[in-house]
Amino acid sequence: MSDDLISIEVDGKKLQGRQGDMLIEVTDAAGIHIPRFCYHRKLSVAANCRMCLVEVERAPKTLPACATPISEGMRVFTKSPKAIIAQRATMEFLLINHPLDCPVCDQGGECELQDVAMGYGDGVGQYSETKRVVKDKDIGPLVATDMTRCIHCTRCVRFGDEIAGVRELGTTGRSEHMEIGTYVAKAVSSEISGNIIDLCPVGALTAKPSRYTFRPWELAQQAAIAPHDGLGSNLYMHIRDGAVMRVVPRENEAVNEVWLSDRDRFSYLAIQHPERLASPMIRVEAGWREASWEEALELAAKGLKAAGVGLHTLIAPHATLEELYLAQKVTRGLGSANIDHRLRQRDFRDQDALPVMPWLGHDVAELEQRQAVLLIGSHIRHEQPLLAQRLRKAALAGAKVSFINPAALPQTFAPLQNLGVGNAGMVSELAGVLAALAPSGLDESLAALVKSAVVDARHQAIAASLKSAQRAGVYIGALALAHPDLAVLRQLAQAIAQHSGASLGELASAGNSAGAWLAGAVPHRLPGGGSSAHKGLNAAEMLSAAASATLLVGVEPELDSLYGQAALDSLQQSGFNVVLTPFVTDAMRSYAHVILPMVTFAETSGTYVNVEGLWQGMRAVARPHAEARPAWKILRVLGNLLNLDGFDFMSSEDVRDELREACKNVQLSTRIDRHFAPLNQTPNTQSLQRIGGVALYAVDSLVRRASALQDTAEAQAAQHVRLHPQEIVRLSLVAGERARVSCGERQVQMTVQVDDALPAGCAWIAYGTQTSALLGDAMHIGIQPIDRPINMREA
Amino acid sequence: MNEQERARKIALLSAETVAEIEHWLSKYPADQRMSALLAALRAAQHQNHGFLTTDLMDAVALYLGVPEIAAYEVATFYSMFETKPVGQHSISICTNISCWLMGSERIVEHVENRLGIKTGESTPDGKFFLKCEEECLAACDGGPMMQVDHVYYERLTPEIVDQILDAVAKKDGH
């Protein structure tokens, strides 16, 4: 509406803004620069640094542009003598206690304080007394602190409060004694904490892992995409001599806004990991030896060809679209349809009824417009940290958000309902919500579920919230995708969405969990989503049976799948295993016959399709490690050596374009059109239900090797078994002590941790750790105390 | 923090403190529990004979449902709160300009000598805490002045100070 527009004049230039806009928003939009430290457009206005003081006609004193709403006819001067005097004075005060340690400061060269001091400060300050010193805090392995440099802009404090929803940093003391910190010694635990590094305008908060390793002017900035969750965050990799020195967010309002999760920010640390494989390796009588690419590839091709239709191909869901497409092309070229990327799924019953790819149901940004949301089986803060941040925005704007999960998981806002019901309770709770919607015309199996459902106030509340909202969404997350009754959860989710008028969506877990479907990296669908006449084995079937040959692309099956040790056992039985991998492990040496070094995501060009179906491409930005090659090239050469048709690609773009052509008629949908009866689960009263998602920092081979992420308290805690305190008492365990966790023959020792959010009869053990891998995909476990050793001296 | 730990911390607040906090909470809208923070911390400090511990600040934060750091921020900002162990009776002598002109230095010296401690210290028996007061205590017309346990005493002389402190000691049974 044009009458909402307000005309102002800044430095003689006529500008327009809307009622309620702050002056700095209008000048920023017009490209007029006003210096600032505390103002950030994603955070609330604090107006405490005073750097943005400007002269406003008829105002007796200069006013902070960040906290001055515009008004009709306002005349502003940003460079008048009065404004300049105010800015200079502010700068002088800010520098009183700021150390002159720029030469040893990591922020030097990209410091807002340096820049603004250069642009707006005076050459000399009048202050000659001693400067204050503030003790540094240890706030964890990701963020380094130099609190003497802090200018108290409180951006980091407001970020924790307003964006991350975990308020851990604060300002304690006042005046000269004011400090930013946690007061009590503790690590900042938010999964998006690294953003305070970017927000800090000075060198008080810097990236700990890359500290003192470069100067900003030595770096070249290259655009890239993060592959660790379904969002595909846009980022910049900062490169020196072909190596990734650090990662920062690349602004894209439609995807990650200006943020980056810690996982996406620090995963690059794994690129230089000592386990990187330098050259192709082949198995010989006496063990392993290095081989030339020609020799290794010919050997691999020979083995794969001999397997033919018996070939099993498993590819990581964070592989590029091109790798996924070529892996299926090689597999199908050999007459096999056994290809899958769904390594963390148990139930495949509904695969033929599913739409062309998992889809959010709308654009990413629309998530924050939802007025009611039901998340089914999703630890969204761990699975999709920045989608969780969008969800929080919706909740703060009044959306009623509910969760039905195996355990009541910690959220960053007050949910309407946060149910923790164990794996076994998921179906009945969803049936309760569906029954509360009083649906008619249900399919037979759903009608039976609804009939037997016990509806209580919680179900009523969730149902009412979805039904009364204009824009409601029902989403399925990774915990549901790993559920043994996934097909039933999906159809219940669809029915709830349908009968409440909500949209239905799936939170695709990894960078290409959606793209893999388009690329045909599933055993029942061709590239572009067409049904495959020849249906192959799914990931679970492949991982539980020996094959004549296996092709693994970027997969460490014991950690990347739910099957753990069982996956290794079946691979060891297989006739011939070719492994394309950036890292080589002892486990690989135990089952592989040929190991080919592939590069990581930073070293290859490729495309990722995110949860909303957005294709995002990147070029190779880092120099490949030693002899490692992009996997798409390795697969192309394998195709050539196998004499398969259609492997004449010159670039990854050619591969992408061929797939894009196959996808040109793809219509995104979330509709499932067949129904499935729930599995009969025999309640096992003797043992505990094992629940748990993939540990935050164990999602893929890269993240698992990012040293700083592994040093976080979160990664350490993922090694433990978590139990309700009553369960600990019942089992005669002691919190903090080791216990024996077993499933049949398999046993491991883990530390017991108290978690009162867990339902009775359940134990939370994260997937993706070396210890939990030994338990395989066990859904029921036993836990016993370890017999305490007798102290010989006392005895 | 698990439920046991939360319960343990909240249980640190005495019934009187909880009643006091509830009294203040009743004055604010139900969704503005942070508003009672200042009064709640004061009650907790009173319960603990003059200073707050981290556990007590946590207890207040948990009781009100605000982040712990919010309690630390408020407790460290206001000079009426002590976050380190101090003596039971707090003595603050104003040394700001009006009181200083009226001879507050003499009063400080007298109290220091009487108690055998310097400003900022507590007596070894834990009875008195001589606070290092940095701000004007807002009784300029009555300088020199001091606060003993937040009660104002004005127009002080060393003799009046002795009477006041004798009375405090007597009340404690010394």
Of A169, A754, A756, the CB nearest to B69: A169
User: Looking at residues B67-87, what average pLDDT do you find?
Assistant: 94
Between chains, do A174 and B72 touch, taking CB under 8 Å as contact?
A: no
- DSSP letter (8 states) at residue A86: H
B71/chain A closest Cα distance in angstroms: 10
**A586-641: pLDDT as tens digits:** 999 999 999 999 999 999 999 999 999 999 999 999 999 999 999 999 999 999 99
Say whether residue B1 is in contact with chain A using an 8 A CB cutoff. no
Q: For the segment A287-312, what is each residue's pLDDT rounded down to a tens digit?
A: 999 999 999 999 999 999 999 899 99
What is the reported pLDDT for A790?
53
CA–CA separation, A622 vs A633, rounded Å? 16
A window 135-164, beta carbon within 8 A of B: 161
Q: How high is the pLDDT of residue A673? A: 78
**Look-up of token digits 């200018």:** A151
Q: Is the pLDDT confidence value at B174 over 70?
A: no
| Chain A neighbors of B73, CB-CB under 8 A | 170-172, 183
Instruction: Provide, as residue numbers in chain A, all residues whose Cβ is less than 8 Å from the Cβ of B82.
Output: none
Nearest to B73 among A172, A754, A755 (CB): A172
What residues form DSSP beta bridges with A419?
A404
Out of B2, B3, B69, whose CB is closest to A183?
B69
B3 close to A (CB below 8 A): yes
pLDDT average, residue stretch B104-119: 96
The nearest alpha carbon in chain B to A414 belongs to B65
Q: Does A717 touch chain B (CB under 8 A)?
A: no
Which of A91, A83, A76 lies closest to A27, judged by CA?
A76
Closest alpha carbon within chain B to A410: B1
Q: Which residues of chain B make contact with A756, given a CB cutoff of 8 A?
A: 2-4
Query: Which residues are bridge partners to A22 per DSSP?
Result: A69
Task: Give contacts of A 725-764 with B, CB under 8 A.
Answer: 725, 754-756
Asked if B73 has any chain A CB less than 8 Å from its own CB, the reply is yes
As for the ipTM of the complex, it is 0.89
Tell whether A643 is within 8 A of chain B (Cβ): no
Please tell me if residue A173 touches chain B, with a CB cutoff of 8 Å: yes
pLDDT of residue A559: 97
User: How distant is the Cα of A349 from the closest Cα of chain B, in angstroms?
Assistant: 39
> Across the interface, do A183 and B70 touch by the CB < 8 Å criterion?
no
CA closest to B3 among chain A residues: A756
**CA distance to A330, A688, A694, A765, per residue, from A768 (Å):** 28, 20, 6, 10
Mind telling me how many Å the CA of A87 is from chain B's nearest CA?
28
Please tell me if residue B4 touches chain A, with a CB cutoff of 8 Å. Answer: yes
Chain B, 41 to 70: residues with Cβ < 8 Å from chain A are 54, 67-70
Distance CA A456, CA A199 (A): 45
Closest CA to A196 of A139, A241, A237, A242: A139
Count of all residues that appear for chain B in the document: 174
How confident is the model at residue A675, as a pLDDT?
76
pLDDT at B4 over 90: no
Give which of A154, A756, A758, A764 to mutate to test B binding, by max B Cβ within 10 Å: A756
Q: At what angle do helices B15-25 and B37-47 cross, to 10 degrees?
A: 160
Mutation target vs B (from A139, A152, A161, A184; most B CBs, 10 A cutoff): A184
Distance CA A444, CA A680 (A): 17
Q: CB contact, 8 Å: A185 with chain B? A: no
Whole-structure pTM value:
0.94
Contact B69 A167 (CB under 8 A): yes
Q: Where are the alpha helices (DSSP H) in B27-143?
A: 37-47, 54-64, 68-77, 97-101, 104-115
Which residue in A169, A174, A184 is closest to B77 by CB distance? Answer: A174
What residue of A is the nearest CA neighbor of B58?
A: A184
B26 touches chain A (CB under 8 A): no
Q: What letters, b where the CB count within 10 A reaches 16 and e where it falls short, cover A670-685? A: bebeebbebeeeeeee
Residues of B in contact with A161 (CB under 8 A): 67
Neighbours of B29 (CB within 10 A): 8
Instruction: Tell me if residue A212 falls in helix, strand or coil.
Output: coil
Question: Tokens for A647?
Answer: 């492997």
Nearest to B73 among A171, A725, A755 (CB): A171
Provide the residue type at A664 as one letter.
K
Buried (b) or exposed (e) across A240-269, using 16+ Cβ within 10 A? eeebbbbbbbbebeebbbbbbbbbbbbbbb
Nearest to A183 among B2, B4, B72 (CB): B72
Shortest Cα–Cα distance, A137 to chain B (Å): 15
Report CB contact under 8 Å: B76, A183.
yes
DSSP, collapsed to helix, strand or coil, labels residue A724 as: coil
> CA-nearest residue of chain A to B134?
A175
Cβ within 8 Å, pair A184-B54: yes
Name the residue among A170, A184, A725 with its Cβ closest to that of B73: A170
Residue of B nearest to A180 (CA): B73
Query: Strand, coil or helix: what is A525?
Result: strand
Q: Find which of B37, B52, B53, B73 to mutate to test the A interface (most A CBs within 10 Å of its CB).
A: B73
Question: What are the pLDDT digits (tens) for B5-40?
Answer: 899 999 999 999 999 999 999 999 999 999 999 999
Which of A174, A184, A725 lies nearest to residue B4, judging by beta carbons? A725
Which residue of chain B comes nearest to A188, CA vs CA?
B69
pLDDT the model gives residue A794: 44
How close, in Å, is residue A166 to chain B by CA atoms? Answer: 8
Q: What is the pLDDT of residue A684?
A: 63
Chain A contact present for B76, CB below 8 A: yes
User: What pLDDT score was predicted for residue B134?
Assistant: 74
CA distance A303 to B56: 69
Residue A609 distance to chain B (closest CA, Å): 38
Instruction: List the single residue in B with minimal CA-CA distance to A181.
Output: B69
Please judge whether A184 and B4 are an interchain contact, meaning their C-beta atoms are less than 8 angstroms apart. Answer: no
Q: Do B3 and A756 touch (CB under 8 A)?
A: yes
CB contact under 8 A, B67 and A183: no
* pLDDT at B1 > cutoff 90: no
pLDDT of residue A175: 87
Q: How far apart are CA A452 and CA A406, in angstroms?
A: 20
Contact criterion met (CB < 8 Å) for B77 and A755: no
- Burial A189-200, CB ≥16 within 10 A → b, else e: ebbbbbbbbbbb
Give the DSSP H or E segment for A784: strand A780-785
Q: What is the 3-state secondary structure (H, E, C) of A577-588?
A: EEEEECECCHHH
Q: Which 3-state string (H, E, C) describes A393-429? A: HHHHCCCEEEEEECCCCCCCCCCCEEEECCCCCHHHH
Report how far residue A138's alpha carbon sits from residue A148's, in angstroms, rounded to the nearest whole number: 14
CB contact under 8 A, A174 and B76: yes
Which residues in chain A come in under a pLDDT of 50?
Answer: 1, 794-795
Contact A173 B77 (CB under 8 A): yes
Say whether B3 and A184 touch across the interface (CB within 8 A): no
Residue pair A457/A417 in contact (Cβ under 8 Å)? The answer is no
Question: Which pair of tokens denotes residue A420?
Answer: 């923790």
Transcribe A739-759 into DSSP letters. Answer: EEEEETTEEEEEEEEE-TTSP
